[in-house]
Amino acid sequence: MESAERESTVEPGPTARAASGAVVDIAALYTEHRLSLARIALLLVDDMATAEDVVHDAFIALHRNVHKLRNPAAAVGYLRTTVVNSSRSLLRKRQTARRHLSLARQENAASADVELIVAAEHQEVLDAVRQLPPRQQEVLVLRYWSNLSEAEIAEALGISRGAVKSNASRGMDKLEALLGANR
């Protein structure tokens, strides 16, 4: 029933052709991957509304660039890369805007739609992850949440597999140190 309601909000049929001439069914990709991509974005930006926004923009970018895709199977990878990069960019904008406008962080009452509630033991880990450099956060999220291989992470982030390994190792080392320091 819920699934049917969701489908009613998505117009059927937006497709486009990749460079190879193959048809890419963007609507189907949206239905299938919207949630998983939004969850990656959520883990990177820590905010549901922004995560939804990031994924929305990623699909717009895909539609605009789909004709450049040589392999339609690469569409999901392209979306994943766009989501990670947009999340990083949004974090930067968020930070620079705060600084530029001298806004102090304030706590607004978040609605039940967007409020994130996690247990204290998880929050401790998430807070520690937030202290890592962005690249290390991205690698850890893609590795330990999305369960991507080193090669897939390297492709998503546009870095070498060696850099993936290095960032993962350093990120975990720091995470252990940060969590150990809190004990």
Partner 1 sequence: MSTEDRLRAALRAQAEQLTDERLDRLSARREAQGDESPMDLSRGEPTVVLPLEMTTRRSHHPRRRWLAPVLAAAVVATLTVGVAELVDLRGRGGHAPISALSQHPSPPTSATASTPSGPTGSATPDQPPSQASHGGYLARGLTGDRASIPWSLVDSGWRLIRPTASTGIPQPTLYLYDPAGGRYLITDQLPPQTRVAGWSADAAHAALQQMDSSGIQLIDLHSGQLGVKIARAEFAAFTRPKGTALLAFVNSQLIRFGLDGQQQQTYSNTMNGIGLLSSPTLYLPDGSSFVAETTTRPVLIGNNGAPQAVYPVPAGYNICYPVKLWDSHTLLENCQTTQPSFSLFLQDLTPSSQPNSSTPPTLLVDGAVGQLMNAWPLTNGDTLLQVYATCQQNPYLIQHADGSLSPLRLPAGVSLPTEIANMNGNLATFVTNKPGCSPAGDSSLIDYNMVTGLTEKLLPSPAEIQDLPDF
Terminal Cα-to-Cα distance of the chain (whole angstroms): 46
| Binding of residue 118 to partner 1 (CB under 8 A) | yes
Contacts (CB under 8 A) with partner 1, residues 149-168: 150, 154-162, 165-166
Q: How far is the CB of 138 from partner 1 (least distance, A)?
A: 10
Kindly report the backbone phi and psi dihedral angles of residue 103, in degrees, each rounded to the nearest multiple of 5, phi listed first. Answer: -90, 130
Quick one: which of 19, 22, 23, 73 contacts partner 1 (CB under 8 A)? 19
Residue 178 makes CB contacts below 8 A (sequence gap 6+) with 128, 131
Binding residue (CB under 8 A) for partner 1 from 20, 22, 32, 94 = 94
Size of the site for partner 1 (CB under 8 A): 106
| Residues composing the chain | 183
CA gap 40, 121 in Å, rounded: 20
Provide the minimum distance between the beta carbon of 24 and partner 1 in the complex, in angstroms, as a whole number.
11
Between 23 and 176, CB nearer to partner 1: 176
Instruction: Based on the shown chain and the rule CB under 8 A, indicate whether residue 47 belongs to the binding site for partner 1.
Output: yes
Separation of alpha carbons 7 and 35, rounded Å: 14
25 lies in the binding site for partner 1 (CB under 8 A): no
| Span 48-87, contacts to partner 1 by CB under 8 A | 48-53, 56-57, 59-61, 63-66, 68-70, 74, 78, 81-82, 85-86
Among 4, 5, 102, 183, binds partner 1 (CB under 8 A): 5
d(CA 130, CA 46): 9
Among 22, 92, 149, 182, indicate the residue that binds partner 1 (CB under 8 A).
Answer: 92
Strand partners, 24: 16
100 is an interface residue for partner 1 by CB under 8 A? yes
150 close to 164: Cβ distance less than 8 angstroms: yes
